[in-house]
Structure 1
Amino acid sequence: MQTYSTDGYVMLSDALPVHKLLPFANVDGIGNRTSIFVQGCDIRCRYCHNPETIMPYTHSQLRSITSILEEIEQYRPYIRGITVSGGEATLYPQALIRLFSALHTMNLTCYIDTNGFFNLERTKELIEHTDKFLFDVKSLNMQNSLCATDRKNNMENLDYLLKLNKVEEVRTVFLKDIMDAESVVAAVSQRIAPHTDVQYKMIRCHLRGISSEYIPSLKGHIPSKADMQNYKQQAEALGVKNIILIY
């Protein structure tokens, strides 16, 4: 049975709900990393490419922190660290603090891939134990229709992490018309341009892996390659130099 705090955070300390663990990945942060996908997300993006991780976890998905550490120990000679994705990793702060504390004694770095809408006060201790964040910026003003959330604290959270030098990468998945693409590029670029080590990954939405219920409403909104080049040029004009464009 899931136990929640009053604001929806899951009170687990000795176990983590794991949907999948990939021993080796090179797209979830710099270097070869072990990726852990947690089960459960607090938003529902229409273009989610891991829709199977959205629903709340089941008891069978709980893995003890000890068992996770034992598995990662097998990969330690071949990895730089681990990245926890999902789902939304920040829903499980106490479990991740315990996991990250142990992994740091193994000289492994600990990253989190987040949707950016976390409660900052609930997450501050976890942030202290996290080396870097991969930070998704979904929208500034259209997140309700795009991701079924009315929260608008994502840029405030990004500012906080940037001040702490905790951001390795900002990611945006682009759609036309049903997201405020140009506003997102402007807001992100103005923030990360002074941080030359922060990478901006600009991703053209694709339909592979998306829940079938959303595909019809997205088909007419996939940006062209020319659109993506325009977004990139907009970011460059605002001073961002470290850009990866993914078609």
Structure 2
Amino acid sequence: MESKRQVLPVKGIIPFANVDGSGNRTTIFVQGCNLNCIYCHNPETIQLPCSETTHTNYTVEELITLLKQYSPYIRGITVSGGEATIYSDFLVELFKEVKKLGITCYVDTNGIFNKDHKLDLIEATDKFLFDIKGIDNLSKVTRKNIDHSFENLEYLLERNKIEEVRTVCIENYMDAEAVIREVAKRIKDYDDVLYKLIRVHYRGLTKEQVIAVKDSVPTKERMIALENLAKSLGVKNVMSIL
């Protein structure tokens, strides 16, 4: 067994987690991201290229050996980060072996990728947890010059590859109502897709990030209003994370 990419830079592994997709899952956090979001709650995973001190390199074989210990107790694995799709070649090879253990493979993604270059990964992945960062002026949130990812979301929805869509709600940086309206158009007919509205928070943020977001945290009342908006637009499965 040989991966096209020999090693995966891993920042950390949580053996048992219940917030990264359905069921008890092992979450693998990769090192490296193509964005630099102002509110990223894993800022230590952003650095790319990776330095030798930021992570531990794992081969497919090493990860499978580890996962065999957990497989009787988990429903699957979720690869998060950082941005997992950066390492698509490695993940395709990893997922082939993981599925032999009888468990599922999820990818947590910011949605910013060229889908035509990720078709093998899309095929190998059971479900995606998909972020929507906004619609316009995304550089305010991501600190990168990017376009929105609705085309990728639609592509994955059509293939029954989406379990969860998430939007981090942050005042002064995005028009949350507009984002929710655009998401609702796309997921309202997919009853099994969960839409998570997450109130931006300070946990895990650097001092720089805290300064940037401290006056932009929505109130609980605001979050409830946003959740009700999503429901009014036909989204069946909405959850606010306060």
Q: Output the TM-score relative to the length of structure 1.
A: 0.93
Residues 168-222 of structure 1: CA deviation (Å, up to 9, x unaligned): 0001110112112111101111111100000001111111111211211211110
Question: Which residue in 1 is equivalent to 2:91?
Answer: 96
SS of residue paired to 2:214: helix
User: Aligned pair 1:45/2:37, yes or no?
Assistant: yes
SS of residue paired to 2:235: coil
Question: Which residue in 1 is equivalent to 2:197?
Answer: 202
How far does residue 14 in structure 1 lie from its aligned partner after superposition? 2.5
Question: Which residue in 1 is equivalent to 2:47?
Answer: 55
| Percent sequence identity over aligned pairs | 47
Aligned equivalents of 1:222, 1:148: Cα separation in 2: 19
How far does residue 142 in structure 1 lie from its aligned partner after superposition? 2.4
In structure 1, runs of 5+ residues without a counterpart are 1-10
Q: 1:14 aligns with which of 6, 18, 31?
A: 6
1:48 touches 1:211 (CA, 8 Å); kept in 2?
Answer: no
How far does residue 61 in structure 1 lie from its aligned partner after superposition? 2.2
2:134 touches 2:148 (CA, 8 Å); kept in 1?
Answer: no
1:15 touches 1:95 (CA, 8 Å); kept in 2?
Answer: yes
How far does residue 148 in structure 1 lie from its aligned partner after superposition? 1.5
How far does residue 140 in structure 1 lie from its aligned partner after superposition? 0.9
Question: Which residue in 1 is equivalent to 2:149?
Answer: 154
Question: Which residue in 1 is equivalent to 2:23?
Answer: 31
How far does residue 12 in structure 1 lie from its aligned partner after superposition? 5.4
Q: 1:77 aligns with which of 68, 72, 81?
A: 72
Aligned equivalents of 2:213, 2:69: Cα separation in 1: 41
Q: CA RMSD in A?
A: 1.2
In structure 2, runs of 5+ residues without a counterpart are none
1:116 touches 1:154 (CA, 8 Å); kept in 2?
Answer: yes
How far does residue 153 in structure 1 lie from its aligned partner after superposition? 4.3
Residues 95-119 of structure 1: CA deviation (Å, up to 9, x unaligned): 0000000011111100000001111
Q: List aligned pairs for 1:161-200, cutoff 5 A.
A: 161-200=156-195
Q: Output the TM-score relative to the length of structure 2.
A: 0.95
**Number of residue pairs matched by the alignment:** 237
Question: Which residue in 2 is equivalent to 1:6?
Answer: none
2:78 touches 2:108 (CA, 8 Å); kept in 1?
Answer: yes
Q: List aligned pairs for 1:110-129, cutoff 5 A.
A: 110-129=105-124
Q: Which amino acid aligns with 2:22?
A: I
Q: 1:213 aligns with which of 189, 208, 217?
A: 208
How far does residue 13 in structure 1 lie from its aligned partner after superposition? 1.9
SS of residue paired to 2:26: strand
Aligned equivalents of 2:26, 2:165: Cα separation in 1: 20
SS of residue paired to 1:94: helix
Question: Which residue in 2 is equivalent to 1:65?
Answer: 60
Q: Which amino acid aligns with 2:107?
A: I
With 64-73 and 51-60 compared, the bigger mean Cα shift is at 51-60
Runs ≥4 in structure 1, deviation > 6 angstroms? Answer: none
Aligned equivalents of 1:69, 1:217: Cα separation in 2: 40
